[in-house]
């Protein structure tokens, strides 16, 4: 397995070791001991799958309180995946990083607690999988607008398909401080 920094503190791209032959492929998508050896030592408590069509953008979502770390991957198709540092007081507050994830590349993206997350589907359809370090808590559900100019995210789509919720999320500067995670070293 290869672990690569993804441009923001704690965000990592994981490239698993893939074993293949004429029957197909096999790889470990998670191994607690192997990941801990790379400094990625955490427990998952929830697994989620979403299925979306081309142009669907989901996000940018986070939870506060009850922050979630997320290990995300694509089981079918291709997505442009984004993490945004929303930890108040962080030196990288408001900065984003992005990675192209696909079933073909088998890459995974680790997004630590304190980051908002979103993705847009680039293929005809995508099956998106994520493991979470904390359960979903409706009252802690939060997010920010996908096209917030302050974030300067270079989304590869101009007019994505959005849920009403995602289309009406606040801009980062309009989120009250007590609705943002606090940065700690």
Write out the catalytic residue numbers: 61, 130
Q: In terms of DSSP H, where are the helices of 39-183?
A: 164-167
Q: Is 177 helix (H, G, I), strand (E, B) or coil?
A: helix
CA nearest to 74, candidates 28, 128, 38, 20: 128
d(CA 97, CA 7): 6
d(CA 72, CA 59): 14
Q: Position of tokens 């997505």?
A: 79
d(CA 4, CA 69): 17
Q: Which residues pair with 11 in a beta bridge?
A: none
CA nearest to 83, candidates 105, 113, 39: 113
- Using alpha carbons, list the distances in angstroms from residue 109 to 70, 123, 183: 8, 18, 21
């Amino acid at each position: 397995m290869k672990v690569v920094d993804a441009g923001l503190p704690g965000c990592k791209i994981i490239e698993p070791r893939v074993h293949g032959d004429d029957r197909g492929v096999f790889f470990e998508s998670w191994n607690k001991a192997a990941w801990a050896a790379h400094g990625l030592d955490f427990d998952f408590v929830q697994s989620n799958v979403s299925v979306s069509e081309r142009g669907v953008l989901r996000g940018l979502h986070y939870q506060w309180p009850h922050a979630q770390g997320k290990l995300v991957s694509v089981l079918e198709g291709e997505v442009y995946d984004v993490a945004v540092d929303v930890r108040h007081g962080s030196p990288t507050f408001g900065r984003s990083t992005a990675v192209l994830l696909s079933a073909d590349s088998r890459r995974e993206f680790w997004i630590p607690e304190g980051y908002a997350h979103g993705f847009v589907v680039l293929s005809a359809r995508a099956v998106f999988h994520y493991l979470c370090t904390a359960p979903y808590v409706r009252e802690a559900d939060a997010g920010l607008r996908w096209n917030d100019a302050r974030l300067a995210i270079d989304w590869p789509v101009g007019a994505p398909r959005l849920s009403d919720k995602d289309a009406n999320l606040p801009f980062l500067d309009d989120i009250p401080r007590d609705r943002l995670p606090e940065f700690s070293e």
